[in-house]
Amino acid sequence: MTLCRGHQSGLVNADDSASQATASRHNPGSADMQAAGHARHSLIYRVSGLSKTYGEGRSVVHALRGVDLDIPQGEIVVLLGPSGSGKSTLLNIIGGLDRPSQGSVHFHDRNLSDMTDAQLTRYRREHIGFVFQFYNLMPSLTARENVELVTEIARDPMDPDEALAMVGLEARVDHFPSQLSGGEQQRVAIARAVAKQPAVLFCDEPTGALDSKTGRAVLQVLQEVNESLGTTVLIVTHAASQAAMADRVIHFSDGGVREIILNADRSSPDQIEW
Ligand SMILES: Nc1ncnc2c1ncn2[C@@H]1O[C@H](COP(=O)(O)OP(=O)(O)O)[C@@H](O)[C@H]1O
Ligand SMILES: [Mg+2]
C-alpha cells in the first residue's frame, strides 16, 4: 500500500477542508484527483459544517462537531474511527436517514437539508443502498424474495437472481436466512442493496459480526460491486486493517475528521490482515 502524505501529495488535514474543496473543484490534475487507482470522477458528496447534537442542556451529546468532507464518485471510502466517534451518525445523515443540527450535505448539486421527508425517502430509494452489521433480512422470505422486496419498488432494478449471482449465491436463491451462514446472509443483504443499482452503497460495520475469512469474502464482494458497477462504496469500520482496500481513508474521532489519507494503490481484501 502506498500512502500519499503531505498536502501537495494528497494528505488533507481536517483543518484544511477549504483547500481540499479547492483542489477537488478547480484542479483536476492534482495528486488528490490522481491518487486512486482508477479514473477520477466528479464529487458525489460535499459535506459542509455538519453538526449533530442529541438531547439538550446538561445531557447534550455532540455526535458531530463541524464535519467538512468531499467524496468523489466511484471510490471506495473507509470511514475509520473508534466506537462512539460519530461514524454512524455521519453515515445516517449522508444517507438521508437522519437530519443534521447544522450544516449541509450536497448530493451532486442537491442539498439534502432542503428536501422534504418525501423527497428524502425518494433520494434513499433511488440512489442509496444500505448494508448494516446485522443483515436485517426478513426471516420468512427466501434470499430471492428478500431481494425482490427492493427490486419491486426500484426504478431500474437488476434481476434478483443476477444480483444474487453477483455475490456468489446463485445456488442459494431459494434458501431462507436461517439456512444461510452469517457471511451468506450478509451477501444477500449486499445483493439486496445492489439490486436497485444505487449510486452509493453505505456499509455500517458490514463485517462486524463475521470471522476473518467470511469478512474478507464480504469485502471482496464490495470491491467487485465498486469495480463492475462503478458504485461509490462507503464503509464504516473501527478495524484499521480495512483501510488498505480503500481509495480514501477518513480518520474520524470525537465527531470530526482528523486526517484523510489517499491510497495510491489500494489492496485487494484478500490481502488484508485481520
Ligand atoms: N439517537 C441518539 N440519541 C442520543 N445519543 C446518540 C444517538 N445516536 C448516537 N448517539 C451518541 O452519539 C455519539 C456518536 O454515536 P455513533 O454515531 O453511533 O458513533 P459510532 O458509529 O462511531 O460508534 C455517541 O456518543 C452516541 O452515544
Ligand atoms: Mg456505529
Cβ neighbour number for residue 106 with a 10 Å cutoff: 17
pLDDT at 271: 87
Residues with CB under 6 A from ligand 1: 54-55, 61, 63, 81, 83-89
Per-residue confidence in pLDDT tens, the chain, 274 aa? 444 433 333 333 433 343 343 333 333 344 444 444 444 569 999 999 999 999 999 999 999 999 999 999 999 999 999 999 999 999 999 999 999 999 999 999 999 999 999 999 999 999 999 999 999 999 999 999 999 999 998 888 999 999 999 999 999 999 999 999 999 999 999 999 999 999 999 999 999 998 998 899 999 999 999 999 999 999 999 999 999 999 999 999 999 999 999 999 999 998 888 8
| Ligand of minimum distance to the alpha carbon of 56 | 1
Could you tell me the pTM of the whole model? Answer: 0.84
Q: How many domains does the chain have?
A: 1
What is the rounded CA–CA span in Å between residue 88 and residue 268?
Answer: 25
Q: Measuring from atom 6 of ligand 1, which residue has the nearest CA?
A: 54
Asked whether residue 174 is assigned to any structural domain, the reply reads yes
CATH code (residue 45): 3.40.50.300
Looking at the domain assignment, is residue 247 inside a domain? Answer: yes
Residue 234 lies in a domain: yes
* Distance from Cα 156 to the centre of ligand 2, integer Å: 30
Measured torsion, CA atoms of residues 184, 189, 193, 196, in degrees rounded to the nearest 10: 70
CA distance 219 to 70: 23
Q: Does 273 fall in a domain?
A: no
Residue 10 lies in a domain: yes
Assess if residue 117 is contained within a domain.
yes
Q: Give the pLDDT of residue 274.
A: 80
Q: Domain range spanning residue 33?
A: 3-54+61-268
Q: Which atom of ligand 1 is nearest to the CA of 64?
A: 14
List beta partners, residue 111.
106
Q: Which residues contact 125 (CB under 8 A, 6 or more apart)?
A: 153, 154, 196
Which ligand has the nearest atom to the CA of 203? 2
- CA of 85, closest atom in ligand 1: 22
